[in-house]
A and B are shown apart, each in its own frame.
Chain A
Amino acid sequence: MLAALMALALPARAQPAPEPDPGAPAEEPALVAGPAIAAYVEAPYPPEAEAAGIEGTVKLRISLSAAGEVDEVEVIEPAGHGFDEAAVDAVLAMEWTPARTAEGPVPVVFDFDYGFVLREQAPTPDPAAPLPVNLDGELVEMATRDPIAGAVVTVTAVDGQPVDAEALPGAELSAQTDEQGRFALRGVPTGQAHLTVRHVGHVSEERDVEVVEGQATTLKLWMRAEAYRDNEIVALYDRPQDEVTRRTITIDEVKRIPGTFGDPVKVIQTLPGAARTPFGTGLLVIRGADPEDSGVYIDGIRIPLIYHLTGTTSVLSPDLIEAVDYLPGGYGVQFGRTMGGTVNVRTKTTFDQDEIVWGTDILDSQIYYQGHPDKKDKHGLAIGFRRSYIDLFIPLFLGNTDYVLKPRYWDYQLKWIPELPHDEFSVFVYGFDDLLRVATPADVAQGSDQDTQGALAVRYNSHRALVRWMHPFSERLSMELLPSVGIDSGETGLGQDFGLRSTNLLTQLRGQLSWTPFPELEVVPGTDVLGGVWGFDFLSAINIEAIDDPLAERERVQFSGNGALLSPDVFLRANLRPLDHGSERLLISPGVRANLVGFTTRGELAGTEPLPPTLDASLDPRILGRWQVVEDQFALKAATGLYNQPPQPQEALGVGTGATTSFERSWSTTFGWEQRLTPAIHYDVDLFYRQMDRLIVFDEAWTGFGSNPFVNGGAGRAYGLEIMARHDPVGPFFGWVSYTLSRAARRDPYVCTEGDPSDENLLLGTGPCWYRFDFDQTHIFSAQAGYDLPFDFGISAQVQYVTGNPASLYDTGVYDADSDFYNPFRVGQINEDRLPPYFQTSLRFDKLWTFRTWQLDTYVDLLNAVRGVNAEFTLYNFDYTEAAYLRGLPFIPNIGIEAKFYP
């Protein structure tokens, strides 16, 4: 703890900014800036004292945190007459700028004199009546143009000669700016006046201005913030208060991590519990769960994909994102239909700063606006649009060929937030469209099949419109409703002979009441209703059942299916806070969620007779707890519960028969603790175990139309240890280290039957029933850090080390002379081998340029500057006697700029 004594003697109604005490202890790091009042609150004069004509000064000792929060106010010399209470209340209500050393903000303890002086004095002849204002103006921050309050503007010289206010009766040559940043000086001598402007947190300014006799001069002064990046601190990965795992990273940090392309969502893959997935896939593998077992939400509404098809950027503008809730496990009942982790991307709920952002890098370009177009702050509006242009650049590298490789994506967002007196209300519309087209020249065969020629095209798009309405009925009862509608559609095609087109119209309604009958109890009943209609058309030049027979006669297959879906889940949760009248010291939160799902299947998929509707239900009891053993220093946390997940759409459909698959299930348990070691450094540890059963797997005995190709026959387990240590962005340094030690495995009934060694399957072999999960990564380590250099330069780096993914090993093949392909012989068990470990280091250099009305952030990302083999997949030669690795991304220098305008 750093302590500094501050001796401040401040009048009650005009308090200058505190100055650092030169007598601060020598062994402590020197303060470069003392604490300052960012928003002054005037204490009411105690009526009795005022009536009695009593004045007084209260000497206070204030403990101010590095975040600028007043931790404690102690009256060390009381003045009585109600002065003490009034002064303490005023200090607590003020907003403060923390003290700073060269390392950044630090907590301080300082003395503060709060004086009460009667304003109305008996009129006495004033030999120095105030002179008129002849120099005034406003002071704003460069770029943001926010008014700067509490700055001191002083005339120090006129025509090169120092001036002394004492010698100029009635003159005021120094003034403090008010809340609007305005100042006024009186009686400034005519001539070339030299002004100095000082304010904690901003770079001092000096300026000359001509003062003309008989005229008032009005100025606009600009100050440059010492650190603009602090303005962007917004909590990311911050657990909701009623969840277990807490991880906080700021947007500014996120933007400066190389390899994330400035995308907040992308940083999830640097956090504990998230496995590394191959580049370009954008998969989320959390605590050993399959990618489809983790749910992705935007403002609580489920979306099918969070990343564009390149896997590098999320489908939302990063400037609209306020926070990302990353819940790897042990989350409450408000989230359901998933066995794995949950990621909820929250968009901004207010637009404090009007701004226009244009950014571009090697992948895409985006434009974003947020602000209040009505100028009355009654309507907040955000509009964003982004489009990739790699599809425009790739042909330049392919040269003059007929080869086609065109990945393209775009997305848009529109959010409107009207200001209402009591309620919170917003309308949010967003969507994205991804396309990938790959084609070879017409005279180049794609394999040996006439029916697999032509361009491969994959297109996916999703659009949502949602309304959020939060209404407080009283202090103890409030309601939140989130109705939404959306459409997801996808198309996959290969030439003229293969195609799958699907369209889903979905509506989702989330709603919950929060009732707090006592401070110690909050009851949250809620509903999560998902419904809609689905449909698809399928075309294949090859009848599916004969797809592995190279001599089978081709018969074009074309059919469609459609139906309706309804899943009206309900949940009930109680948040118990039994200590200290409902404080967050201890939270115990039991809950239960009822999962209901029903759907119908019609169309040619169903066969000639309509299939009966499928109905299924399950129950998820869960409980989680969090105990701050030492407040804000050490906390224990634990959670356990059941997580049922309905079948994926393709697994649930009846294929000429009623669906036979039911919920997949996971029992998830987690335990851990968090500890803050210093004001800036803290860590957390999680131990987890996840037991999965009834996993849906392909039925090897599937006989085609009339039977269901999937069964609830698999099982899985995952367990591990997660550690995250973090240095908050206090001072010029930030960074975090995360490490996951884990094991994940699966069991498939068609690999073997437990305890029956004679149950052989010639394709899959025999052996232990449990085999490694496809993304079982024993060690996942990542470290990222950044450092602010002078003149708004910055440097940051990232290091990742991950155990290679499991892989099956093949060493030879048998030649199918009819298809001209080799069938491989696997060596050992499924996933018995491993790819080499993944290792990469990336660097980033950036420089922020600040101008009066805008800023320009320029950066160079050196992605994979140092790297290992980084095998993503094993490739074999034609007969599986030779193997090679398909490597991940090579070294990529990514140059980008982002311009931010403040209209």
Chain B
Amino acid sequence: MRTPLLALVALASGCVINSDKWPRPRDLTPDWEVSETRILGIRADPPEIRPGDTVAFDALFGAPPGSDGEVGDNGIPADRSVLWLACPVDDEGNGFGCLTDLGDVDLATADPADLASLGFVGFEPGLAPSYTAPADLLDGLDEQARLEGRYVLVQLLAFPTALLQDPDALANLDFSVVVSAYKRLVVSDAPTPNHNPDIGVFVVDGLPIPPGAVVTVEPDQRYDLSVALPEGAIESYDYENSDGVVEQRVEEPYASWYTTGGEMLEEVTLWPRLEATWQAPKETLDRGFWYIVLRDRRGGVSWYTQEFTIGRPTGR
């Protein structure tokens, strides 16, 4: 009698068999958590160019302080090399930009001109990425299409520097160890080309933080993070719609928030609410970073990195 009763109780209480070892959705690493080397943004300066113009690129890498991939003063992870490629998106709808097979290239000995012909526009550390749009890129397009422009797809691969010593590994890249990203560069004849937005001041709990300062916070506390944009950071521009009517539009940027420690209660906020709440971890922490990336939806990007340290509680 006792065994059936126990079985009945077990059934009635609801139980999972087959050792539920599988992770649950709540166990997935959230987007705001920088727990390993990541690309958080790619910037073209300027973000929109005309044919024949030259543009410079850079990327925001995030990595936990003290990790092998900690970002150095040069802006790239210490253990990685970064390869930049840029190719126009072709008229056939190929949205993949450069279809370069790294197995065909010996990065150590290749001629710069050959590399350029394959779409290589930068290699870091060493060669800062830049790109000059072909002067004839918009040839053949009608006036409306030239105003709208064409995309140049900018790709970057951040792979372990150690792979440079192993051509085979480089030729057969294991994407589980490679961090890759891409961005669209607009090349057009637009009369009001876009600009990257400015981030004026980083603000913690209403206090503007001077550039370069390290913010000391207390464990297990919540802080309101925000950015204050300077005057004119939100651009107005003209857009000719499909009916031929020119509209004046205003940018509506959004902010993506990241941290190497603690918890971001919002990971994306929309203009005009460029603020987020951050929950400090319960333990002290020597170094940590907040990252905010601001996108204007037209290709313009800016970011801000703020270092923090978590000291002992002071009874705040």
Contact = CB atoms under 8 A, between A and B. Distances in A.
Interface string A860-882: 00101111110100011111011
B1 interface: no
B22 A885 contact: yes
Interface residues of A, number: 49
Contacts of B256: 448, 820
Given A866-B17, A867-B16, 5 more contacts: A551-B297, A865-B14, A869-B16, A878-B29, A890-B14
A447 interface: yes
B28 interface: yes
Interface string A108-148: 00000000000000000000000000000000000000000
B29 A869 contact: no
B80 interface: no
Interface stretch (A29-37, A472-480, A808-816): A808-816
A445 B254 contact: yes
Interface in B114-155: 151
Contacts of A762: 96
B254 A869 contact: no
Contact of A815 (B39, B96, B239, B297): B39
Contact of B24 (A836, A839, A887): A887
Interface in B6-30: 10-18, 20, 22-25, 27-30
A818 B25 contact: no
A864 B14 CA distance: 7
Interface stretch (B198-206, B210-218, B267-275, B281-289): B267-275
Contacts of B22: 836, 869, 871, 884-885
A817 B254 contact: no
B222 interface: no
Interface string B275-306: 00000000000000000010101110100000
B252 A862 contact: no
Interface in A847-903: 862, 864-869, 871, 875-879, 881-887, 890-891, 893
Contacts of B59: 817
A555 B242 contact: yes
A259 to B, nearest CB: 13
20 contacts: A444-B266, A448-B295, A551-B186, A553-B239, A553-B241, A762-B96, A815-B38, A815-B179, A815-B181, A816-B181, A817-B59, A836-B18, A839-B17, A841-B11, A864-B14, A865-B12, A866-B14, A866-B17, A869-B22, A871-B22
A869 B18 CA distance: 7
B270 A453 contact: yes
A818 B17 contact: no
A882 B29 contact: yes
B50 interface: no
Contacts of B175: 812, 825
Given A878-B30, A882-B29, A866 B39 contact: no
B180 interface: yes
A550 interface: yes
A816 B184 CA distance: 9
Given A447-B268, A553-B239, A555-B242, A817 B18 contact: no
A443 interface: yes
A161 B254 CA distance: 97
Contacts, number: 134
A817 B23 contact: no
Contact of B180 (A814, A836, A885): A814
B15 A817 contact: no
A608 interface: no
Interface in A391-449: 443-445, 447-448
A884 B15 contact: no
A890 B13 CA distance: 11
A883 B254 CA distance: 27
B168 interface: no
A521 B187 CA distance: 77
A891 B14 CA distance: 5
Contact of A448 (B15, B16, B268, B298): B268
B176 interface: yes
A222 to B, nearest CB: 35
B48 to A, nearest CB: 9
A843 B24 CA distance: 26
Contacts of B179: 815
B31 interface: yes
Interface string A799-829: 0000000000001101111101000010000
A450 interface: yes
A884 B26 CA distance: 9
Contacts of A876: 28
B242 to A, nearest CB: 6
Nearest to B177: A812
Contact of B181 (A447, A814, A825): A814
B42 interface: yes
Contact of A817 (B24, B25, B41): B41
Contacts of B184: 550-551, 818
A445 B270 contact: yes
B182 A862 contact: no
A811 B14 CA distance: 33
Nearest to A703: B93
A450 B17 contact: no
A811 B29 CA distance: 14
A817 B182 contact: yes
Contacts of B183: 816-818
Interface string B218-258: 00000000000000000000010110000001001010100
Interface string A551-575: 1010100000000000000000000
Contact of B18 (A551, A839, A885): A839
B248 to A, nearest CB: 12
Given A448-B268, A825-B175, A875-B25, A865 B15 contact: yes
A85 B24 CA distance: 76
Contacts of B27: 882, 884
A876 B29 CA distance: 9
Contact of A812 (B23, B176, B241): B176
Given A762-B96, A825-B175, A843-B11, A867 B24 contact: no
A551 B266 contact: no
Contact of B28 (A443, A445, A815, A875): A875
Given A825-B175, A839-B17, A883 B23 contact: yes
Nearest to A843: B11
Given A814-B181, A876-B28, A884-B25, A862 B14 contact: yes
B42 to A, nearest CB: 4
Contacts of B181: 814-817
Contacts of A865: 11-15
Interface in A439-465: 443-445, 447-448, 450, 453
Contacts of A444: 266
Nearest to A841: B11
Interface string A729-770: 000000000000000000000000000000000100000000
Given A448-B270, A817-B181, A865-B12, A881 B18 contact: no
A544 to B, nearest CB: 12
A818 B20 CA distance: 38
Contact of A814 (B29, B182, B254): B182
Nearest to B149: A551
A825 B180 CA distance: 12
Q: Which of A815, A816, A893 has the most CB of B within 10 A?
A: A815
Contacts of A886: 25
List 9 A-B pairs, minimum CB-CB distance, nearest first. Answer: A891-B14, A815-B181, A817-B42, A877-B28, A878-B31, A884-B23, A865-B11, A817-B183, A814-B180
Nearest to B240: A553
Contact of B269 (A445, A817, A885): A445
Interface in B179-197: 179-184, 186
A308 to B, nearest CB: 25
Which of A555, A814, A825, A839 counts the most B-chain CB atoms under 10 A from its CB? Answer: A814
A871 B18 CA distance: 13
